[in-house]
Amino acid sequence: MSALPIDSSRLAPPMLALVGNPNCGKTALFNLLTGSHQKVANYAGVTVERKEGWLRTPAGRRLAVLDLPGTYSLAPNSPDEQVTCDVLAGRLPGERRPDLVLAVVDATQLARQLRLVLGLRRLGLPLVVVLNMTDIARARGVDVDVEALSRALGVPVVSTVAVRGGGADALFSLLDAALPSAPPAASAGSVADDYRQVKDILTTLGLDRVPAHAFTDRADRVLLHPLVGPLLLFALLFLIFQAVFAWAEAPMGWIESATALLGDAVGRVLPDGLLRSLLADGLIAGLGGVLVFLPQIVILFFFILVLEESGYLPRAAFLLDRLMGGVGLSGRAFIPLLSSFACAIPGIMATRTIQNPRDRWVTIMIAPLMTCSARLPVYALLIGAFIPARRVAGGLELQGLVLFALYLAGIVSAVLVAWLLKRLGSKDRQHTLLMELPDYHWPSLRNLAIGLWQRVLIFLQRVGGIILALTVLLWFLASFPGAPADFAGAPIEYSFAGRLGHFLLPLFEPIGFNWQIAVALVPGMAAREVAVSALGTVYALSATADDTAQALVPLIVAGWSLPTALSLLAWYVFAPQCLSTLATVRRETGGWSAPLLMAGYLFALAYAASFVTYRIALACCP
């Protein structure tokens, strides 16, 4: 840090802030404005996602753009909304106050969204209203007179179609003009006054009767049907898990061949020795074993993003609300829990939309039981190795079926744990839902692509960061100290890792794990998928020097019994925790009791489930 006082406001580009209701197309507009120039992080001190990007105007000015969390009003109801209000007021430490507010308004939902605009107008910041989704509005017979609306509101209004390239041209050229002068700051008005004012404006513009979205109503008649709706939801989830296996097959093959080729090349080029061992056994075998699951993670995220973008996710929450209510959860808990299928960390962060503190606590506690994508590599490895790839019961893939069953096992246990926590908890609380069911719309390819790219980047950063570091560490532990020449077993058994594995063996032997698995479980604490790369490294080093970087699957098929594989699968349904999840829980709950309780109960469940699975499997197929 420089000691000289520098006026950073002169150096930093002007900051635009996007503000709007949830589901107003704000993120699509953010994507259109900034393209790939985005950075996703957290606000200092709170775990609210902070999305910043930058854009260059036609005249070449560089502007910073901040995508603030969606809010229905400037009277915050949740930590997310609090961030939006604090940033706009210039109250959030470490954030500068935006120079220009872009109020994003869904043209089909003018009444509700213009009330937020009236609130924003009182902030005393320069304000531009961005009328979004004007194409959809026009198709429904809502043609907004932009000039008249601008006159009525007293601020500039531009119309955009955020899901179409070039849809924000009017906004871009407006950004080159001088900043509009700020409307005078005023204290908060009453909800009733704002309501009347917006109603008057809309009546004057002839926009006070907006027809409902006919397609949404027709679709909901089926999708929210009390009987058909849940069946369709279940079928949809089932299809997703089938696709994760079926579609990923080819690209996974390519990645595997590439890894093998690379391992061979390194083996040929480098002389036998430590460097070759580090590269071939440690890095290529370890990282290749994790990278191979990228296609499956991409497919899973693709479906989650499509469901999110299309507006179906809140419908799923609607359908499951009774079920969730039965075990003492809010229907709102569905969205955090579904996000937890990708990763428990964003899922736990998403619980901030649940107002009731106890509901939120229960949701956090069961979030890790949703099978996160980091477990997918482990499942995929074991299923691929031990479950035959054949079709059963009318063309269903057995492997996909087993995967579905594992996900289901996680869900069922989450329901049981939530039910138990409800029985133990107090009775005097009210559960709320109050959730918008937005109109359906086609997900835009650009938003899907940007969303997927961000997820892929996060995965690759993990592979390149924590997984790389742990793989090298494990290679070191598994290679040193070197075995003396007269040592009978594989050299790894003499190493630190081998000794650790043998030390842990008495604990894991009753559930069918061998010492190699015990070794792999330790780094698997840091990130679950590391267990796969760890197994890759452990087995590569256990093998004789000639067949390094060999595929893991034939090695474990030869080395493990079916009960052991099933037991490890059961273990990973509960998979005691990755450390980053525990750290997030600590931050979100503000104490150590929740993360410690979570780690303890998951470990107990995992051990019990593995024990039962192993014993039953032993009895059935000795």
Partner 1 sequence: MTLPENELRLSDAETGAPMVVIGLDDRAGLPDLQTRLRELGFMEGEPVCVLRRGQPGGEPLAVRIGASTFALRRIEAACVRVAARHGA
Q: Which is nearer to partner 1, 72 or 238 (CB)?
A: 72
Contacts of 449 (CB under 8 A, 6+ apart): none
Asked if 149 touches partner 1 (CB under 8 A), the answer is: no
Say if strands 127-132 and 157-159 run parallel, antiparallel, or are unpaired. parallel
As a whole number of angstroms, the distance between CA 124 and CA 127 comes to 9
> Least distance (Å) from partner 1 to the CB of residue 461?
36
As measured in angstroms, the least distance from the Cβ of 437 to partner 1 is 4
Window contacting partner 1 (CB under 8 A); options: 219-227, 381-389, 537-545, 565-573: 219-227
Q: Determine the Cα–Cα distance for residues 15 and 110; give it in Å rounded to an integer.
A: 26
Stretch that binds partner 1, among 34-42, 220-228, 448-456, 501-509 (CB under 8 A): 220-228
Residues 319-338 that bind partner 1 (CB under 8 A): 319, 321-322, 325, 331
Region from 222-230, 416-424, 461-469, 488-496 binding partner 1, contact rule CB under 8 A: 222-230
Residue closer to partner 1 (CB basis): 76 or 156: 76
**How far apart are CB 350 and partner 1 at their closest, in Å?**
17
Task: Give me 84's structure tokens.
Answer: 């939006």
Both tokens assigned to 55: 């854009």
Integer Cα distance of 21 and 23 in angstroms:
6
**Would you give the distance in Å from CA 432 to the centre of its chain?**
24
**Footprint of partner 1 on residues 295-314 (CB under 8 A)?**
314
Is 429 an interacting residue with respect to partner 1 (CB under 8 A)? yes
How much is the CA Rg of the chain, to the nearest whole Å? 27
Stretch near partner 1 under the rule CB under 8 A, chosen from 110-118, 271-279, 441-449, 604-612: 110-118
Q: Which stretch binds partner 1 (CB under 8 A): 31-39, 108-116, 124-132, 455-463?
A: 108-116
- Distances in Å between the alpha carbon of 429 and those of 152, 356, 375, 508? 45, 8, 35, 42
What the block records as the tokens of 509 is: 């032997």
Site string for partner 1, 575-614 (x = CB under 8 A): ----------------------------------------
220 touches partner 1 (CB under 8 A): yes
Q: What 3-state DSSP class applies to 397? A: strand
Residue 534 has which token pair?
A: 């760890």
Q: Stretches 126-134, 423-431, 480-488, 548-556: which one binds partner 1 (CB under 8 A)? A: 423-431
Q: Which of 108, 471, 548, 613 binds partner 1 (CB under 8 A)?
A: 108
**Binding test (CB under 8 A) with partner 1, winner from 177, 396, 412, 433:** 433
Stretch near partner 1 under the rule CB under 8 A, chosen from 179-187, 213-221, 447-455, 593-601: 213-221
Alpha-carbon gap, residue 171 to 34, rounded angstroms: 13
Q: Rounded to whole angstroms, how far apart are CA atoms 376 and 11?
A: 45
CA distance 560 to 563: 8
Cβ proximity to partner 1: between 57 and 216 the closer is: 216
CA atoms within 13 A on the CB side of 325: 12
Contact between 99 and 88 (Cβ < 8 Å):
no
CB of 61 to partner 1, least distance (A): 36
> What is the smallest separation between the CB atom of 328 and partner 1, expressed in angstroms?
13
Q: Does 115 bind partner 1 (CB under 8 A)?
A: yes
How far apart CA 190 and CA 198 sit, in angstroms, is 12
d(CA 106, CA 130): 9
For partner 1, give the closer residue by CB, 193 or 509.
193
Cα separation, 260 vs 270, in Å, equals: 15
- Span near partner 1 by CB under 8 A; candidates 36-44, 287-295, 425-433, 537-545: 425-433
| Residue 251 binds partner 1 (CB under 8 A) | no
356 in helix, strand or coil? coil
Indicate the residue among 181 and 430 with the shorter CB distance to partner 1: 430
The Cα 537–Cα 548 span in angstroms is 10
> Three-class SS of residue 591?
coil
Q: Considering only residues 68 through 107, tell me which ones interact with partner 1, judged by CB under 8 A.
A: 72-73, 75, 77
What one-letter code names the amino acid at 360?
R
Smaller CB separation from partner 1, 192 or 269: 192
Secondary structure class of 2 (helix, strand, coil):
coil
How far apart are alpha carbons 341 and 313 in whole angstroms?
13
Q: Does 434 bind partner 1 (CB under 8 A)?
A: yes
The minimum distance between CB 216 and partner 1, in angstroms, equals: 8
For the bound state, the minimum distance from the C-beta of residue 168 to partner 1, rounded and expressed in Å, comes to 24
Residue 399 is inside which H or E element, if any? Answer: helix 398-424
Helix (H) or strand (E) holding 304: helix 294-310
For partner 1, the binding residue among 7, 430, 484, 558 (CB under 8 A) is 430
Task: State which residue, 148 or 435, has the beta carbon closest to partner 1.
Answer: 435
Distance, in Å, from the CA atom of 291 to the CA atom of 284, rounded to the nearest integer, reads: 10
Q: Which is nearer to partner 1, 174 or 219 (CB)?
A: 219
Of 264 and 436, nearer to partner 1 (C-beta) is: 436
**Interface with partner 1 in residues 173-212 (CB under 8 A):** 191-192, 195, 210-212
Which regions of 148-303 does DSSP assign to beta strands (E)? 157-159
Smallest gap from Cβ 322 to partner 1, in A, equals 6
Q: Which two tokens stand for residue 175?
A: 């950004």
> Which CB sits closer to partner 1, 276 or 332?
332
d(CA 620, CA 622): 6
Residues 400-419 that bind partner 1 (CB under 8 A): none
In the bound complex, what is the minimum distance in angstroms from residue 340's beta carbon to partner 1? 21
Q: Which of 470, 487, 480 is CA-nearest to residue 541?
A: 480
Amino acid at 282: G
Task: Pick the closer one to partner 1 by CB: 109 or 533.
Answer: 109
Nearer to partner 1 among residue 231 and residue 545 (C-beta): 231
Cα–Cα dist 135/54, whole Å:
26
Which segment (165-173, 223-231, 410-418, 466-474) binds partner 1 by CB under 8 A? 223-231
To the nearest whole angstrom, how small is the minimum distance from the Cβ of residue 361 to partner 1?
A: 17
Is 224 strand, coil or helix?
Answer: coil
Where do contacts with partner 1 occur on this chain (CB under 8 A)?
Answer: 72-73, 75, 77, 108-112, 115, 191-192, 195, 210-212, 216-217, 220-221, 224, 226-227, 314, 317-319, 321-322, 325, 331, 428-438
